[in-house]
Chains A and B, each alone.
Chain A
Amino acid sequence: MLEQAFNGLVGGAFYALLALGLAVIFGMLGVVNFAHGAFYMLGAFGAYMLLTDWGVSFWVALGVVPVGLGLIGVVVERLLIRRLAGLDPLYNFLLTFGLALILQDLMKREYGAQSQPYPRPSALSGTVDLGLFSYPAYQVFVLGVAIVTCLAVWYVLSRTRAGMVVRAATERPELTRALGIDVGRWVTPVFGVGIALAGLAGVLAAPMRAVNPLMGSDLIIAVFAVVVIGGLGSIFGSVAAGFAVGLFTALANLYVPALSQTLVFILMVAVLLWRPAGLFGREEGIA
């Protein structure tokens, strides 16, 4: 039971890293980024390619891949996402979903649809004794990295002026512009950081989960539900909901295995019936 709860937190760590980026991007740009899962997938493939083509280790990939993907995110925002401002949300769907399909198929063309193996880094191949049970060291590491990353993002968001501007612009982008802040200038780096977080999650997933072109699209639907549960536009809510959903799903897997795949959506429906704006969302419209 405790072990399963731990599994849940590790799974929740991936939700949290992805939901964090999605929530900030949605809040500031009003864009639902369907390509977010594809960038997660590219994170895993990035680590895989670096290892198989150049023999670059996991540890280097852990730093290089998120930064590289973040830069690609910056380019994608400048070239494509930026043009969605003020357009019908349908274009948002077409563009980001189309982008996700293109990225998936590019990887499929190169590596096929089957999963590629990625070895655990040897330093983390053992298990850690956690007192009541022993647990794979790699999973402990993943949880640690996710928590440290979320704390670092939280620190920047809550304690710096840049973070304050991002929080304001995520909550009320139009008002923030009317108060003298050039929200457009902040959008590009924020999008880049959001993509970098997805890339980081992808690298972390590579040794643990199957590296295949569809890994992102499988995960992202659940992440959307997580963001809705946390409350659209709520940064804290998305992270909290990520860990909570991971935990619930894992525990459900223990007692009612049949439910584990659908539980996130059941939770979403229940939360929306109870609080239509999500757990940490506010019902005020975006004026």
Chain B
Amino acid sequence: MRFPTAPSPHLAPSNSVSRIMLTVMGALIPGIIALVWQFGPGVLVQIAIALVAALTAEAMVLLLRKRLVLPALMDGSAAVTALLLAVSLPPLTPWWMTAFGTQFAIVIGKQLYGGLGFNPFNPAMVGYAVLLISFPRQMTAWLPPVDLSGFSLSFADVASVIFQQESSLAYDGLSQATPLDLLKTQLGLQTHLDEIQSAGVFGGLSGKGWQWVNFWFLAGGLWLLWRGIIDWRIPLSFLGSLYLINMFFFLYDSSIYPNPLFHWFSGATMLGAFFIATDPVSASTTPRGRLIYGALIGILVFVIRSWGGYPDGVAFAVLLMNFAAPTLDHYTRPRVVGHRR
């Protein structure tokens, strides 16, 4: 790595963990607004629950570990974990699931490994994966987007569903499979792709509502890139490899594999590419390592979505590549200045 340094005097930017975390939170706002617009205010309640759970869990573990509580809470890393987990959850997830998933993410996914900077896995995705494999029914039931259902839930409705378990009947009636979920189950029933995509939830680039959510996460992600918070390599190689492998199979048999833009704009692709895979702690850190890391995540996402057991695979793909990141770093170490290879 070269650090081009101009002669003094220098103006140092206030580069700190909390500044980065605040910028990330800011970049999430367009996507969150899109989620509220399309899927109702449930995501706001989820964010509130997740924030409370994450901050209390972090504070308790820090107290147990006899560390300074306030500086660690103020750096915003726990809040970012909570935000990322909350925007991944279905809007009407029961409150105890959100709280449990966030606490698991903070306590077991992050603090047990030594806290910020030591966690080998992305904590938010640890929490998400735990919830997904433990409660698959609740975790795959999303609300229909407002473009499709035509009605929007009020804040009070949403809060009562989330906090009262007895209204789960209404919840079952409201919720509906996501485009990715529907695609998977219908393809399993040998339905033709054109026929599936004529269903109501599909439309535009991917699914109604979903394309907007992904579009605004993409916009927020590009802003992060522009601010220099994340490296361009991971999102580019992630989206590039997802596009290429998808294009290959689309050209091979377009009656089973949807066109590449569908996968780009459905599920958690954009959120994963810009906000989750780029986690500075758990991702690969070398330039070439990042290219490989992102590319393999893209391939894994396609593989899990097309042939795996779960409708979306971003969380699993990121976790699997987190395992591989230290090895990638080892084999892609950049040349030290002045040394031959």
A and B interact physically: no
List residues of A whose CB falls within 8 A of some B CB.
Answer: none
List residues of B whose CB falls within 8 A of some A CB.
Answer: none
